[in-house]
DNA sequence: TTGTATGCGTTATCAT
DNA sequence: ATGATAACGCATACAA
């Protein structure tokens, strides 16, 4: 296995010069050329462990996510990868299951592996970022906002909740419930706020027993809808993320034998014509229905663009690397226009 | 930031002793106790970069996957994580897009980051594993079999192709096409072999123009089905992986306005009752329909257990770590029994 | 500009 | 069993 000393002796220069060539410092072009051919010839690749030790920072960034099985977050990961790779960084995915203990374990790993930076969708409002930040590592919070002076990218979640609810109001629904995520996430809380505000503005009742905090997974949506239908009267429901939406639809399918009827019980053109065996229920979902196999026009989706969220977060991190002193920035990520064509 | 020397001086011992305590070597219990309290007090955590450099191997394993957006592979990742974490290893996900260039780049990173091992679902029949293996790193090939003397775990793909096809034959279908993945993957090739054999055994024609090699993503299945329906007569189709299945169903939905009719054109109980506007087409899918929102009894699924595949692969890697000399083993991963209840 | 020599933090070797 | 010290491979301060 070729080492930097091998390259140096082969090229007839010092290891310092080899290092300089490899790191783009000023070097006599002739020497540089000799070094490069030696590198090529010997198949030399720097040992990144040694480099990290010496530089006190590696070229790996951690992407800490609550659920890598959620297509929303894998899309975020793709966006992050695109720009990070381009800039020479490797991305490693870390899965927290929205568990603060796992999260803080991964943050500790990132710290002691001397990773260059961390992108995180935090499981709580107070992730343990101090150690990383005092050691000068880049930190970007994404998707979920926290109350801290740190670089952040997130959607306008209150507006999303409001829009999802308005879509249903516009369709003629009047008693609209809401299934949202854990209180520990700003997305869940703010989207529910939006639901509350949209109802209030329309002069409709927003009773707190029509709001359910579930987890942000399929089983969360499934159980929540069952609970909701047993407790309260409603004619529609807002699901504040994609997997909760899937769970809600599965629960409806189980109850009614059909995904989603129209509000008045009359099938919509292009929609399913299966008989309705239970009360009609409109469904609004913030996000996409991943891997859906048919276009269901009677479900009201508010598609997001997680990949762009990822690229925006990665850019923020790169800017932070370039200028560690720059004041923290909180970016609001745009979402596709309401009438934009669906990507799937 | 506390270093090992700080702990040593605080505890009044040498750094060697601290290191020994932390690595479970034999040490005077009294000294060990002093060291441990110092570690606690100073909040000392070893620098993993330095440790890796010295040990010439880190405690990180790479999981190299063709498509992290495929729920099959994220489930594999969960399985791998479960057992790797338990054994003290961190798992990093690497995405190749089935691109040999990206794949070999990640393998090179794994090598030069001195990672402990690599688990890989290879993009080609000949991934570049020599460098890693000669350096004594653990290597396990998963999901896709290669012709090499290396630890492997995969399903019996020929049997899967055969079973998926038989399911359709049993339902009364007679002209069964097949959409499979790239020729560069054993899964695609062997499952297609199974399709061919099942038809032959049933005395049905298996014409090669009824076989399409697509990519293993949704667009692959979508385009392939369009192509197929334009070219050949058939009454059913086998999709050899989950995403291809999704693509096939989307193409059918676009053509017929309904996911999947029954073979004789009569809706099945519990199935969709929408009018059929085109020829009936049966669908068999090797794998699951991820995040499906209703139970469609007229699609014939052959569910797999990717999470178990991941745990099996991780166990193989741990065994390899424990005994580097052990001969390579090729494990055939069981699949759920045909009549097992669906997990979703 | 180039080379020499030191240090990053840990583990392993070699004495004791 | 324990301590002093060299070494892992690279990047950089300093000297030239």
Q: Which domains does chain B have, with CATH numbers?
A: 4-46 (no CATH), 56-149+307-333 (3.40.50.2300), 157-302 (3.40.50.2300)
pLDDT at B296 over 70: no
With CA atoms as reference, the chain A residue closest to B217 would be A291
Q: Do A259 and B294 touch (CB under 8 A)?
A: yes
Q: In the prediction, which pLDDT does B211 show?
A: 98
With CA atoms as reference, the chain A residue closest to B257 would be A270
Q: In the prediction, which pLDDT does B205 show?
A: 87
In this predicted structure, which of A265-274, A288-297, B178-187 has the lowest mean pLDDT?
Answer: A265-274
The model's confidence at residue B256, banded by pLDDT at 50, 70 and 90, is confident
In this predicted structure, which of B261-265, B285-289, B318-322 has the lowest mean pLDDT?
Answer: B261-265
- Looking at every residue in chain B, the average pLDDT score rounds to 90
Query: Using CA atoms, how far apart are residues A70 and A244, in angstroms rounded to an integer?
Result: 11
| Mean pLDDT of all residues in A83-92 | 90
pLDDT at B96 over 70: yes
Exposure letters A126-159 (e unless 16+ CB within 10 A, then b): ebebebbeeeebbbbbbbbbbebebbbbbbbbbb
Cα of B312 to nearest chain A Cα, Å: 19
Cα of B242 to nearest chain A Cα, Å: 10
| Mean pLDDT of all residues in B60-80 | 96
| Mean pLDDT of all residues in A189-205 | 97
If one compares A276 and A294, the residue with the highest pLDDT of the two is A294
| Mean pLDDT of all residues in B255-266 | 52
| Mean pLDDT of all residues in B185-203 | 98
The model's confidence at residue A135, banded by pLDDT at 50, 70 and 90, is confident
With CA atoms as reference, the chain A residue closest to B250 would be A293
In this structure, are residues B218 and B246 in contact, taking their beta carbons and an 8 Å threshold? Answer: yes
Q: Contacts for B86-91 with beta carbons within 8 Å, 24 or more apart?
A: B87/B318, B88/B59, B89/B59, B89/B60, B89/B61, B89/B116, B90/A109, B90/B59, B90/B60, B90/B61, B91/B60, B91/B61, B91/B62, B91/B63
In this predicted structure, which of B79-83, B331-335, B340-344 has the lowest mean pLDDT?
Answer: B340-344
Which residue(s) pair with A62 in the sheet? A92, A118
Sheet containing A151-155: which strands, arranged edge to edge?
A90-95, A60-65, A117-120, A138-142, A151-155, A330-333
pLDDT at B136 over 80: yes
Query: Using CA atoms, how far apart are residues B209 and A132, in angstroms rounded to an integer?
Result: 58
Q: In the prediction, which pLDDT does B151 show?
A: 97
**Closest-CA residue to A122 (of A142, A150, A92):** A142
Q: How many CB atoms lie within 10 A of CB B246?
A: 27
Q: Do A53 and B50 touch (CB under 8 A)?
A: yes
pLDDT at A277 over 50: no
Instruction: Specify the residue for token string 């007090």.
Output: B41
Cα of A335 to nearest chain B Cα, Å: 21
The model's confidence at residue B253, banded by pLDDT at 50, 70 and 90, is confident
Q: Counting Cβ atoms within 10 Å, is residue B124 exposed (0-12), middle (13-18) or buried (19+)?
A: middle
Torsion of CA B102, B104, B108, B113, to 10 degrees: 50
Question: Strand D and chain A: which residues 28-87 have CB closer than 7 Å?
Answer: 44, 46-47, 50-51, 53-55
Q: In the prediction, which pLDDT does B149 show?
A: 95
The model's confidence at residue B306, banded by pLDDT at 50, 70 and 90, is very high
Helices B15-22 & B4-11 angle (0-180, nearest 10): 100
The model's confidence at residue B270, banded by pLDDT at 50, 70 and 90, is very low
pLDDT at B277 over 60: no
If one compares A113 and A129, the residue with the highest pLDDT of the two is A129
- What is the DSSP secondary-structure string of A81-102? HHHHHHTT-EEEEEE-TT-HHH
Query: Using CA atoms, how far apart are residues B128 and B105, in angstroms rounded to an integer?
Result: 10
Q: Please state, for a pLDDT cut of 90, what percent of chain B lies above it.
A: 76
Tens of pLDDT, residue by residue over A47-57, are 999 999 999 99
Q: In the prediction, which pLDDT does A337 show?
A: 78
| Mean pLDDT of all residues in A209-230 | 96
pLDDT at B288 over 50: yes
Q: In the prediction, which pLDDT does B262 show?
A: 46
Tens of pLDDT, residue by residue over A19-38, are 999 999 999 999 999 999 99
**Closest-CA residue to A64 (of A26, A21, A107, A32):** A107
pLDDT at A311 over 60: yes
Q: Do B293 and A46 touch (CB under 8 A)?
A: no
Going along A184-302, which residue ranges are E strands? 211-213, 236-239, 282-286, 299-302
| Mean pLDDT of all residues in A176-203 | 98
Q: In the prediction, which pLDDT does B338 show?
A: 67
| Mean pLDDT of all residues in B252-277 | 50
Q: In the prediction, which pLDDT does B266 show?
A: 37
Tens of pLDDT, residue by residue over A137-159, are 999 999 999 999 999 999 999 99
Helices B71-86 & B306-322 angle (0-180, nearest 10): 40
Q: Which two tokens stand for residue B59?
A: 């405690």
| Mean pLDDT of all residues in A77-92 | 92
Sheet containing A176-180: which strands, arranged edge to edge?
A211-213, A176-180, A236-239, A282-286, A299-302
Q: In the prediction, which pLDDT does A320 show?
A: 94
The model's confidence at residue B189, banded by pLDDT at 50, 70 and 90, is very high
| Mean pLDDT of all residues in A245-272 | 62
Q: In the prediction, which pLDDT does A280 show?
A: 64
In this predicted structure, which of A105-109, B65-69, B295-299 has the lowest mean pLDDT?
Answer: B295-299
pLDDT at A92 over 80: yes
pLDDT at A248 over 80: yes
pLDDT at B329 over 90: yes
The model's confidence at residue B62, banded by pLDDT at 50, 70 and 90, is very high
The model's confidence at residue B280, banded by pLDDT at 50, 70 and 90, is low
Q: Which residues have Cβ atoms closer than 7 angstroms to strand C?
A: A 12-17, 20, 26-28, 30-32, 50, 53-54, 56; B 1, 3-5, 15-16, 18-19, 22-23, 44, 46-47, 50-51, 53-55
| Mean pLDDT of all residues in A202-221 | 95
Q: In the prediction, which pLDDT does B113 show?
A: 87
Straight-line distance from CA B45 to C1' D11, in Å? Answer: 24
Chain B residues with CB-CB distance to A111 below 8 A? 45
pLDDT at B268 over 80: no
Query: Using CA atoms, how far apart are residues B298 and A211, in angstroms rounded to an integer?
Result: 36
If one compares B273 and B315, the residue with the highest pLDDT of the two is B315
Q: In the prediction, which pLDDT does B297 show?
A: 65
Torsion of CA B255, B256, B261, B264, to 10 degrees: -100
Nucleotide at minimal C1' distance from the A8 CA: C3
pLDDT at B294 over 90: no
Which residue(s) pair with B40 in the sheet? none
Q: In the prediction, which pLDDT does B339 show?
A: 55
CA-based R_g, chain B, Å: 25
């Amino acid at each position: 296995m070729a080492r930097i000393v091998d390259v140096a002796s082969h090229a007839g220069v010092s290891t310092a010069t080899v290092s300089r060539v490899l790191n783009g410092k000023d070097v006599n072009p002739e020497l540089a050329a000799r070094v490069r051919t030696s590198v090529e010839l010997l198949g030399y690749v720097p040992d990144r462990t040694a480099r990290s030790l010496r530089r006190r920072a590696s070229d790996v960034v951690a992407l800490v996510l609550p659920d890598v099985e959620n297509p929303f977050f894998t899309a975020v990961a793709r966006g992050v990868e695109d720009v990070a790779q381009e800039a020479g960084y490797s991305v490693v995915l870390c899965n927290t299951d929205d568990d603060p203990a796992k999260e803080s374990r991964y943050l500790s790993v990132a710290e002691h592996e001397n990773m260059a930076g961390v992108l995180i969708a935090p499981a709580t409002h107070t992730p343990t970022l101090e150690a990383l930040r005092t050691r000068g590592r880049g930190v970007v919070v994404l998707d979920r906002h926290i109350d801290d002076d740190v670089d952040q990218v997130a959607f306008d979640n209150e507006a999303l909740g409001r829009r999802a609810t308005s879509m249903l109001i516009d369709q003629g629904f009047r008693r609209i419930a809401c299934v949202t995520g854990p209180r520990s996430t700003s997305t869940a809380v703010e989207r529910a706020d939006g639901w509350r505000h949209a109802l209030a503005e329309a002069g409709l009742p927003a009773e707190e027993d029509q709001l359910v905090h579930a987890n942000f997974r399929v089983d969360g949506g499934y159980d929540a809808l069952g609970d909701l239908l047993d407790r309260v009267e409603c004619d529609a429901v807002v699901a504040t993320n994609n997997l909760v939406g899937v769970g809600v639809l599965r629960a409806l399918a189980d109850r009614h034998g059909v995904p989603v009827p129209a509000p008045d019980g009359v099938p919509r053109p292009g929609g399913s014509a299966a008989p309705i065996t239970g009360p009609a229920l409109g469904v609004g979902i913030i996000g996409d229905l991943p891997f859906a196999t048919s276009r269901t026009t009677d479900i009201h989706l508010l598609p997001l663009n997680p990949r762009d969220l990822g690229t925006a977060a990665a850019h923020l991190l790169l800017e932070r690397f370039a200028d560690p002193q720059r004041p923290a920035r909180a970016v609001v990520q745009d979402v596709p226009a309401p009438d934009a064509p669906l990507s799937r």
